[in-house]
Structure 1
């Protein structure tokens, strides 16, 4: 049973590393439908050049909309619910070393009816600590060009004490819960999180997600936040 975001000023944002849909797909679909996100920030979706139809099909299965478009062979994207208007959406590439896996971000300008728009972005940072700082700087620059409030989330491949995590937390506020996100089978590291601009507070909803289904679905746990958009309400 899903638990929808509470009131007309809130949206539910979830970040989830889905491990290329390689594990129990029915469990993964069940988990996402139970969460019922308005914005689903995804990492490790299938990334080969002809995988767009698989991602679009997955969006249909979980009851969300995927904007598609060029993905630069990377595996980060996002999906949205019909509660939101999508005003603009794109994928962008991030700098990587030669022969490394392509990395990038999915980003959309969305609007909850009766509210001013905001930017939502999904990120998946490098396994190398030295590479994460330039990646996050480029993402923040891209997200900030619109001068809109933003919600960013994803797999940082780093725990809260890390340099890049602290840099991101210095630009935005971390609004997700302080709990381990990896691995789904034996949670012991917090490497996934959601951050937001000042004035967009978040709370962690109580969503009943069975541990066995979480462990079957993928190797990360989802991060779920209800974001309060009261500050963006039209007067």
Structure 2
């Protein structure tokens, strides 16, 4: 599935998939937070200017969450790409969304890059964390990404043209084999 998409940057949100995804797809691992499983991978030839993973604030009784951020440059476009996986608890999701924005915008500002946030929000559009991210970044697309609902998204900052965005088109068998979530894709170009 990932090879067929021929993406420059891939953000994954499932535990254990960072290194395995790199091996299976032929992509390079730019950044990986082993604890929470979020990772940013890039195709060979994409320049990685900066990579970091950060633990997010821990809430007792909930899973530890992290963010993977890689500042990358490809085809004249510099992005601060962030991969995240929010909690099932609404309060933790909103707190982490606020923290993620701060961290990504800091990296983007340091490297004059456009923020791009890709994640499993574990909530529907219009809920608090989603609204917080959508108030700062463009988000669009349609289609269910998990269990008939749209809970995964890509948010883009100013400075890029979004040529296309939405759930990846592929055969059901291929999608089912790849993940229990449908991949969300965005085709970005410099302005």
Quick one: distance in 1 between partners of 2:168 and 2:87?
30
1:213-224 map, 5 Å: 213-224=174-185
Quick one: distance in 1 between partners of 2:93 and 2:167?
32
1:16-165 map, 5 Å: 31-46=1-16, 55-67=18-30, 71=33, 73-113=35-75, 115=76, 117-146=78-107, 147=109, 148-165=113-130
| 1:57-105, Cα deviation, whole Å (9 max, x unpaired) | 4312201000356x36221111011242100111111112224221111
1:141, distance to aligned residue in structure 2 (A)? 0.5
Higher strand content, 1 or 2: 2
Query: Secondary structure of 2:87's partner?
Result: coil
1:179, distance to aligned residue in structure 2 (A)? 1.3
1:205, distance to aligned residue in structure 2 (A)? 7.8
Identify the residue that residue 182 of structure 1 maps to in structure 2. Answer: 146
Answer 1 or 2: higher relative contact order, Cα 8 Å, separation at least 6: 1
Flag as ranges the 4+ runs of structure 1 deviating above 6 A: none
1:216, distance to aligned residue in structure 2 (A)? 2.8
| Consecutive unaligned residues in structure 2, runs of 5 or more | none
Query: Secondary structure of 2:63's partner?
Result: coil
Query: Secondary structure of 2:95's partner?
Result: helix
Asked whether the 8 Å contact 1:96–1:102 carries over to 2, the reply is yes
> Which has the higher mean CA deviation after the structures are superposed, 150-159 or 76-85?
76-85
Please report the TM-score for the alignment, with normalisation by the length of structure 2: 0.88
Please report the TM-score for the alignment, with normalisation by the length of structure 1: 0.73
Count of paired positions: 186
Query: Secondary structure of 1:145's partner?
Result: helix
Quick one: distance in 2 between partners of 1:206 and 1:104?
24
Cα RMSD of the aligned pairs, angstroms, is: 2.0
1:213, distance to aligned residue in structure 2 (A)? 2.0
| Consecutive unaligned residues in structure 1, runs of 5 or more | 1-30, 47-53
